Structure 1
Amino acid sequence: MDINTLFYWVDHMGIAVFAVSGTLLAFRKNMDGFGVIVLAAVTAIGGGTTRDLILDLPVFWVYDTYYLYTILTAALLTILWLRFRDYIHQKTLLIADAVGLAFFTVMGAQKAMQAGFDPLICIIMGTVSACFGGMLRDVLARDVPMLLKGELYAFTCLAGGSVFVLVADYSQSIAIVLGLFTTLLLRLGAIRWHWSLVVFHEHHDGHR
């Protein structure tokens, strides 16, 4: 398997995982079938669409509709699985989101790198690809976006994207693995141990 084929399939895996994440949240919010598909699609392609528009590149799913089939398949399989469950724990959604975050960080950075952009822009685009779809998902579902909940989120993408960019000149396949695992392990650690970047000390407003 050549490197371009590997990137293509990793991209589809990220799309599928984020579609699952959107479907799980739609289930928790008791949405109808249309709502499920909308939330799955927005989660899966929102970040990549934003990245392509910023970089002035062709929007990936417009020119390759197999991405849409991946979203539909992932959503339908998740719906079938959920038919046998009455409840989905919040941790399941967080873990699915973390896996999608890892895939999209690497693929967003790789696409910007392939287009010839500066390494810093590649890292930022990896973060945009990973975070924006989930942010749209949470806003549409009337949740506080995970990006704003305090635990490490965007920082994990910046770290994973940086690792990918640093290693990619030596081996892109190794860079994929290291970028994925850096993002995923940091995010899972943040979920488990509530890691955060504290800027302001806790304070209480005084009232007179």
Structure 2
Amino acid sequence: MDIYLILSGTSGICWTIVYIECIRLGFKQKTYAMPFWALALNIAWETIHSILGYRENGLSIQVIFNTIWFLFDVLILLTYFKFGYKHFTNFLPKKIFLVWSLIVLVFSYCIQYIFVHEYGLVKGASYSAFLQNLIMSVLFIEMFIQRRSDQGQNLTIAISKFIGTLAPSILFGIVGINEFGGPNFFLLVTGILIATFDLIYIALLLNNRQNKIS
């Protein structure tokens, strides 16, 4: 089997697990399980690249995953608006919470469009995906610290995110694709940074689990 399909498929399956688990935990624990800025950037990325990707390449494996992820992110977004305000009640009125959330969503669509406009479809998608993934890694750690618990978080999400990003990091940063003319140093380094923060997050969750047991 082609290495591109193996790595793309691995990434797609792992990220699908992340989204499903975020939905499950969100409704079960009445919270949201993905940091909101990361969620907003994700849903904007998936909207734009599902549509433009289909126009450019037809029904490719990436377009299929993008569309599935968009539908899952809609459900995660629902958990955010349904349960998320309780995490902001101490310092933010509900109307401001809703207005701010909508502003973040609009800004996220603008940011994703800028990447496509400046770098083209494939490069724009790759650069923005890796950067927002790095932001997500940092925000997961911040969410764990702010909540002072693993509410809405677990090792399934953390490990699946780690593997789901490691695969494209290898694909773009080491194997290389034609659109980049071979391995891309920027994506490789960004992938290493993401993996580092993901491993820190996994370690925090493992330590938290150990503390619960002891």
Structure 1 length-normalised TM: 0.38
Structure 2 length-normalised TM: 0.38
Greater RCO structure (CA 8 Å; 6+ sep)? 2
Greater helix fraction, Structure 1 or Structure 2? 2
